[in-house]
């Protein structure tokens, strides 16, 4: 698990920012976004307490239960652990719980938000899909994910990482290969094949529940972020915001599925503006 913690201040308002990464990712993926947000919000809030776990199937959590229930239980236990250690608390103690989640992590965060509709003070979802509505399409996705998981085992991690980077949804993340991207790619080279397979098969879109009907029940302010090159997810976010009047959809220019990687400063500006307006 990864946590980026600032020294505790003697002021009252503390933001617990739970940042949930995407498939093949890590809690450390949020370093550029974290730096940009903290630079913009310096002096605006008392403390930004970043809590960035490696989700089941990834990092030091690669052998954990990757099912929807397993992921949900993991997140709840992670929150309870940090609260017991004094790293996080609830709003009654001047803490605000903020969710920033990307892709696979945004599915988990959204699932949590539909189960505990009053928990989050603000929800920021990057590249979120609330679920595949058609059972036929869900079955096809399960079949596709199962075949990919079998190929990962047969052909190995190196083959899979090359394949993954070549996907139109992903490849825009590699248009500029800076030092952070190099370190990020090195982290991916140590991913556990079994963990990836389990995550893909047990928490992929084909098995993830359809949450569309639950979106109107979410009471927290919602920010949906997509890159303008990611047309599919821009359309999904428009449908999402149509389903919940508290949902605000924003598009980052020149980016694909992962604007927090591709343009962390622009993404941070959108997030900072949202937090200053909706969370006090």
For residue 181, is it within any domain?
Answer: no
Instruction: Give the least confident one: 43-47, 84-88, 196-200.
Output: 84-88
For residue 272, the domain's CATH number is 3.40.50.1820
Burial string for 222-257 (b: 16+ CB within 10 Å, else e) reads bbbbbbebbeebbebbeebbeebeebbbbbbeebbb
For residue 194, is it within any domain?
Answer: no
For residue 149, is it within any domain?
Answer: no
The boundaries of the domain holding residue 60 are 2-132+209-278
For residue 77, is it within any domain?
Answer: yes
For residue 106, is it within any domain?
Answer: yes
Predicted confidence band of residue 176 (pLDDT cuts 50, 70, 90): low
For residue 142, is it within any domain?
Answer: no
Question: If you compute the radius of gyration of the chain from its CA atoms, what whole number of angstroms results?
Answer: 18
Give the model confidence (pLDDT) of 214-265 as tens digits. Answer: 999 999 999 999 999 999 999 999 999 999 999 999 999 999 999 999 999 9
Predicted confidence band of residue 278 (pLDDT cuts 50, 70, 90): very high
**Cβ-based neighbour number of residue 137 at 10 Å:** 12
For residue 139, is it within any domain?
Answer: no
For residue 190, is it within any domain?
Answer: no
Domain count, the chain: 1
pLDDT of residue 13: 76
Question: Which of the two residues, 209 and 178, has the higher pLDDT score?
Answer: 209
Give the model confidence (pLDDT) of 1-41 as tens digits. Answer: 454 434 334 345 789 999 999 999 999 999 999 999 999 99
């Amino acid at each position: 698990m990864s946590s980026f913690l600032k020294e505790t201040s003697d002021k009252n308002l503390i933001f617990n920012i739970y940042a949930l990464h995407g498939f093949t990712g890590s809690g450390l993926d949020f370093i550029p976004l974290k730096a940009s947000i903290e630079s913009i919000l310096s002096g605006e809030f008392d403390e930004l307490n970043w809590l960035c776990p490696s989700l089941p199937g990834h990092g030091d959590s690669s052998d954990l239960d990757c099912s929807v229930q397993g992921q949900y239980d993991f997140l709840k236990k992670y929150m309870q652990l940090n609260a017991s250690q004094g790293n996080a608390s609830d709003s009654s103690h001047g803490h605000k719980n903020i969710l920033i989640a990307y892709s696979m992590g945004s599915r988990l965060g959204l699932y949590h938000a539909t189960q505990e509709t009053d928990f989050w003070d603000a929800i920021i979802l990057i590249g979120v899909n609330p679920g595949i509505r058609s059972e036929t399409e869900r079955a096809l996705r399960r079949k596709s994910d199962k075949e990919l998981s079998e190929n990962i085992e047969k052909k190995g991690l190196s083959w899979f990482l090359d394949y993954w980077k070549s996907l139109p949804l992903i490849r825009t993340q590699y248009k500029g290969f800076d030092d952070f991207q190099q370190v990020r790619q090195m982290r991916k080279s140590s991913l556990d094949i079994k963990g990836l397979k389990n995550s893909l098969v047990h928490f992929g879109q084909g098995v993830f529940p359809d949450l569309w009907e639950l979106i109107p029940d979410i009471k927290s302010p919602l920010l949906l972020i997509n890159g303008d090159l990611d047309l599919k997810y821009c359309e999904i976010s428009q449908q999402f915001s149509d389903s919940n009047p508290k949902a605000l959809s924003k598009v980052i220019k020149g980016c694909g599925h992962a604007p927090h990687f591709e343009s962390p400063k622009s993404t941070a500006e959108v997030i900072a503006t949202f937090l200053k307006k909706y969370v006090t």
